[in-house]
Amino acid sequence: MNKITLLIHCKDRSNIIASVTNFIAKEGGNIVYIDQHVDREQDIFFMRLESEFTIDSFTTSGFKELFKNTLASEFDMKWRIYSSEVKPKMALFISKYDHCLYDLLGRYNSGELNLEIPFIISNHLDLKPIADNFKIPFHHIPVTKNTKNEAESKQLELLEKHNIDFIVLARYMQIVSRKLISKYPNKIINIHHSFLPAFVGAKPYHSAYKRGVKIIGATSHYVTEELDAGPIIEQGVAHVSHTHSIQDLIAKGRDLEKIVLANAVKLHTDRKVMVYNNKTVIFY
């Protein structure tokens, strides 16, 4: 059995859903999931669909070509088709914080994440034993002011060599360059230790403590050239009070970061995220 996921967005108009579902039925497909959304302000139609094909003659490449030359052209669609047989390849970028790394590798090891991790890149050696323990290749690429361009070239070489589909910054404490972002648009996922947009900077929990906030949060988003301003994929919050110390806030925040980042990775991997005008449409 072949299973595909189809993502579509285009100008809203009548007959889109009927045309797509009839097309799939004609090609021998059985739709097992379908959801749609219309952005009334932008007049844009979004749809996510999963379909199974049991006919022996079906190929994903052939279906893509046929869809491209018929419906996609007729409705002027932006579209993507993914086969369930292909697991996306994720590269992990890390520094010294280990909580998100442990969480993602634990989920990966248990089979919770439907992806491959060909390697881990870090600008420090501190977390190499964790990568070794999970038997994932670890590449130490130091980054300094004078070696940033050289380091980036090494990163890109590894990414291209292993045909990486997307990158996760699991508390990677370096600013990603414009060149890397342009190579992976809406394919670099970051976890920010704050409920954006608020309390930006290196110590958001300290800022939150000083303000006496009652809620702290974490935000996972795609990386864009504007720092911490990319399309938001997932967010989480936790209630706090005046009885919590800074260390309590940090501990609660790290728990949130792990969960929010893992959820964002799963949403991206399961092809449930669509980006339009720096916003996301999430099909849960």
pLDDT tens string 129-177: 999 999 999 999 999 989 999 999 999 999 999 999 999 999 999 999 8
256: nearest Cα among 185, 212, 208, 223: 208
- Mean pLDDT for the chain? 93
**What's the start-to-end Cα distance of the chain, in Å?**
24
Q: Which domain holds residue 25?
A: 2-83
Strand partners, 35: 48
What are 212's two structure tokens? Answer: 């006496």
pLDDT in tens, 58-117: 999 999 999 999 999 999 999 999 999 999 999 999 999 999 999 999 999 999 999 999
Report which of residues 273 and 284 the model is more confident about: 273
Q: Give the pairing type, strands 90-94 and 2-11.
A: unpaired
The model's pLDDT over 181-231, given as tens digits with 9 standing for 90+, comes to 999 999 999 998 766 556 666 777 787 777 777 888 899 999 999 888 899
Q: Is the domain of 210 the same as that of 102?
A: yes
Looking at the fold, whether 151 and 246 belong to one and the same domain comes out as yes
- CA–CA gap between residue 246 and residue 254 (Å, rounded): 12
Mark whether 228 is an active-site residue.
yes
User: In which residue are the tokens 């004609």 written?
Assistant: 26
Same domain, 264 and 148: yes
How many domains does the chain divide into?
2
* CATH number of domain containing 64: 3.30.70.260
Which of 12, 39, 98, 228 is catalytic? The answer is 228
Which of 50, 83, 116 terminates a domain? The answer is 83
The last residue of one of the domains, among 49, 83, 117, is: 83
Collapsing DSSP states into helix, strand and coil, what is residue 39? Answer: strand
Give the C-alpha distances (Å, rounded to integers) separating 130 from 76, 104, 137, 166, 266: 47, 12, 11, 21, 22
Domain end (from 83, 116, 133)? 83
Are 113 and 62 within one domain?
A: no
| 93 and 75 co-located in one domain | no
pLDDT on residue 182:
95
CB 194 within 8 Å of CB 218: yes
Q: Are residues 227 and 242 in the same domain?
A: yes
Query: How much is the pLDDT for 26?
Result: 95
With contact defined as beta carbons under 8 Å apart, do 230 and 175 qualify? Answer: no
Cα separation, 96 vs 110, whole angstroms: 24
User: Do 95 and 234 fall within a single domain?
Assistant: yes
Same domain for 96 and 44, yes or no, is no
Please classify residue 163 by burial: count the beta carbons closer than 10 Å to its beta carbon, then call 0-12 exposed, 13-18 middle and 19+ buried.
exposed
78/107 same-domain check: no
CATH code, domain carrying 240: 3.40.50.170
| 153 lies in the same domain as 189 | yes
If asked whether residues 186 and 108 sit together in one domain, one would say: yes
Can you give the pTM of this predicted structure?
Answer: 0.92
Q: Is 164 found in the same domain as 73?
A: no
| 165: its two tokens | 């589909």
